[in-house]
Structure 1
Amino acid sequence: MMTKTHDSKPTASLVLDSRTILRDGSHPLKLKIGWGKDDNRKWSIGYTFTKEKYAELLTNATRAPYKDIWVHLNAKLRKADNIIRDLMPFFRFEDFKERFFDAPNFKIQVDESSLMFICETVANNYKRKGQYSMSVKMRDSSRSLLKFVKMENMPMRAITPSFCREYEEYMYNKSKKFTRNGAGINLRHIRILFNEAISEGYIPREWYPFKRMSGERSFFKDAYVIPLERKSKEYLDEADLVKFSETKRFDTPAQRKAHCAWLVSFYCNGANAADFLNFRFRDIEGDFISFYREKIKYSTRQDRKLIRVFITPELRQLILEFGNPPAPNNYIFQCYTDEMDDEKRFLARKKFTTDVTRSMKILGEKLGLKAKVKLGNARHALANILKRNGVSREVVKDLFGHMSIVTADNYYESFGDDKFKEIATNYMSLDAIKSRIRDR
C-alpha cells in the first residue's frame, strides 16, 4: 500500500486523548505523527493520565516524581524523530509503526515503482539499442541519489521537489568548484526515468516532481526546476592555438597523441571523441568527411543534421601520420576495433579521453598557454575564431550540426560544401590564422 505523496516532513508530538475515557476516568497518552494538514496517526504508548494529572506533568517536568516520567516520554519522542529521519524522504505510516513498535520483520518495500527497478529497465533498453553510454549515465545518476539518502533503493514517489532541492544543495556543497551542474546533469537523467516510468505505467503522472516545459499544471505546488549554469568557456585564442599547433616538443608519446587528438577535433568542425573516433574511411566523400553526431544517432527526429567536414591539408596530414591504413571499413583513427561490442567501445573511448586529457594538461602547462587545453574546448576555440572573424551564426550552426541557435534559425537554409570549404580554408587553416596575426 502506498501513501499519498507529501512534499513535507512528518512531525512527532504527544497528545492526551481526552475523547477516550478509561474505567478509572483517565485518558491514554498517545504518540501523534502528523504529515501535512490532514494526514495523522495516533498510537497509545502505555501511559494514562487524568486531565489534572497531565496538566501537573506539563508544569512540573523538572521536578520529582514527574522528571523520571518526562525522561521516558522524551526518549520516545527522540526515537520517533530518529525513525522519521531514517525513513525520509520515503516515509510511510505503516513503516513507521513497524519500526517504532519494533516489528521483527520490518523492511522498506520496493517494487516496480522503485528507482533501481526503473533505472535497470531503462538502462537495459538503452543497452539493447546500442546506447551503452546512456545506460551507464542512468545507473551513475541513480547511484548518486541513493548515496545521498544512504540506501540501496528507494521509491520514485520519494523524489519530490523538496528532495530534489536538498539533493541539489548536497551536490553543490560537494563540488570542488561550487557548481550546480553536477546535480543538473544527474537530475536530467532522473527526469528521463520518470518520463519512461510514466509512459510504461509503472508510476502515476502525479509523482512527476519537475516543472513541465509544456506548462501543464504540476501535482506539486512548487515543481522543481533543474539548474542550468552557463559559465564562460575556456578556449585557446589564435596566438595560443598557433603555439600549440606548431609545437614539436613532446616528452612522451602520450603527449603527442593528445596533441593530435585536439587538432583532429578542431579540424573536424569541433567534433568530440565520440564522433571522430567513429569515423571510417568509407565516410570520406571526395574532400569531405560526412557524419551524424553520435548524441543524436538514435534521435526519433527526421530532420537530423548531416555534418560535412572539409579535409584541410592539416587534417589530411594528421590522418596520414596517426590514422589507420586507408581501407574503406577501417576506422580512420586508432581506438576501436570491429571485434569490440558497445561496452568495450565505451570503455576504450573512456580510456582514450582520460589519457588524452591528462597529457593535454601537462602539455598546456609546459607551453605556458593562458587557457587550459581540453579536448572539449577545441570546439569553443573554433567557434570563437569564427565569431571574431565575422562568420555568421547560421554558418556556425550548420558547421556544428546544430538544429538551431534560436527558434528563428529554423527559417535559414543550410549552407553547402562550397561555404564549408571556404570556412576551413580561410579561418581554420594554420597559415590563415598566422596571416591574421601578422596583419593585426
Structure 2
Amino acid sequence: MLQENAEKTQLIALASEQAYNAVLITDADFNNGGPFIEYCNPAFCQMTGYKREELLGRSPRILQGPQTNLDVIASLRQALEKRTFWEGSAINYRKDSETYVVSWNVSPVFSENGKLSHFVSVQQNITSRIKAERERDMLVKALNQASDPVLVTDEKECIVFVNAAFEKLTGYSAEESLGQTPAFLNSGEQSAAFYRKMWQTLEKNQPFQARFVNRRKDGSCYYVEQSIAPVQDEKGRYTHFISTSWQVDEIVEREKALIAMAEEDKLTGLLTRRAGDEELAKAYYLYREEKRPLSVIICDIDCFKAVNDTYGHLAGDRVIQQVTKTLQEQVRPSDPVIRWGGEEFLVVIHAPMPTAMELAERLRRAVSMLKDKEVGRVTISLGIAEVLPEESIDQLLGRADGALYRAKRNGRNVAMPASGQ
C-alpha cells in the first residue's frame, strides 16, 4: 500500500513537472502575508521568468503590479478564505517587469482528516489569445463601420461573417446569413459558366473580380462589383474566402440608358443598324439551330433625295416618321423593323419566301396610300430574300439589296424577290 501511494505520488510529480500549463502549489497559511509558494513546475517558471528557488517561500503577490486588477485579487482572496474553487484572469508581471495576461484557477487541498493543507493552481498565459481577440474585435468593428459590404465564408463556403453594410444592402440580418452559402443571394441572372470560371480562378489562388447580379430579401435585384479572395493557412490549405463589394446600380442604369440610346434611333424610335445587326444574328442562329425559316425585306423610300432638296430636311424627317409608323402597323410585334440607313429600312421575319412576299406587297400598298401635306404621295421599293442553305448573313443581305436595286430600275414602288428564290 505504501509502495502504491509512493508510485502515485511520483506519477503526480512527474505529470506536474512535464505539464504544458503552469502549476503552482501554496500552503494554506494566511498569517504573515501568506499563503506562500511551496511548489512550481518548469512551465510556471518559464511563464514568469523566475527560477524555482527565487519563488519558493514567497507570496504569489510578487507577480502583481500597477495594472493588476485588485477586484480580481479580492475575489480570489475571498474564495481562498472560504476554501472554495475559484477561477479568473488578470494582468501579472514577469521578473523582467513585462506584463502578461494569466488565466488561472485555484482549488483547495484537504488532508485525509479533512484539514485544509494547501492550494493548487493551474495557470495559462493567454496574452496572445487576448491580443488576437482584441485585434479581431477591432477588425470586426472596422468592417462594420465600412460603407461597402463584406462577407467571409469558411472553406465549406458557409458564411461566418457579414458586416452592417451587407445587412443594409441585402436586407438579410447577420443571424439570417450566418451558416448559409452565398448562393442564397443568387438571382438566376448569371450562368453556371460564370460561376465555374469564378471557382477555377479561386482554386488557382487568384482573386476573382466581376459584376454580380444578386437578389435581396425582398426579391429585388441589385448590381455589385465584387472581389473575392481566397485565404490560405501556412500549409497552403484554403481556410476562408473574403468578399468585398460595392454597389453599382446607378452605373448599370446609366450604361443601360447609353445602350438604349445607341440601339434606338432618335428620329423614329426604331432599332439602329447596330442593334439590328444583333437582331439579325439572333434570327440567323434560330435558322441554323432550330431550322426556323428566315427572310428579310429591305425597303427604301423612293426619290427621297428630291424630297430633302425640294422641301427641306424637316419634311424629309416627317416622311421618314410617317413611313416608320406605317411599316410598324403592318408587321407582327415579333418581327423587328430596323432603320437600316438614312431612308432605308430592314424587316426581319421568320417566314418562308411566299409569306415574306405577301408582307412586302402589303407594306408597299400601305405606304403608297400615304400623302404628306407638302410632299404629296410617298412610295417605297422593296427587295425580298429568304436565306438559302449554307448562306451567310452578308450573302442574304447582298441578294436582298440586289433585288431592291432591280426594283428601283423597274420604275420604283415595286416589291422584287431576290435572285435564286
Which TM-score tier does this pair reach, normalised by the shorter chain?
under 0.3
Name the structure with the higher strand share: 2
Higher RCO (CA-CA < 8 Å; seq separation 6+): 1
Q: Structure 1 length as normaliser, TM-score? A: 0.22
Structure of greater Rg: 2
Name the structure with the higher helix share: 1
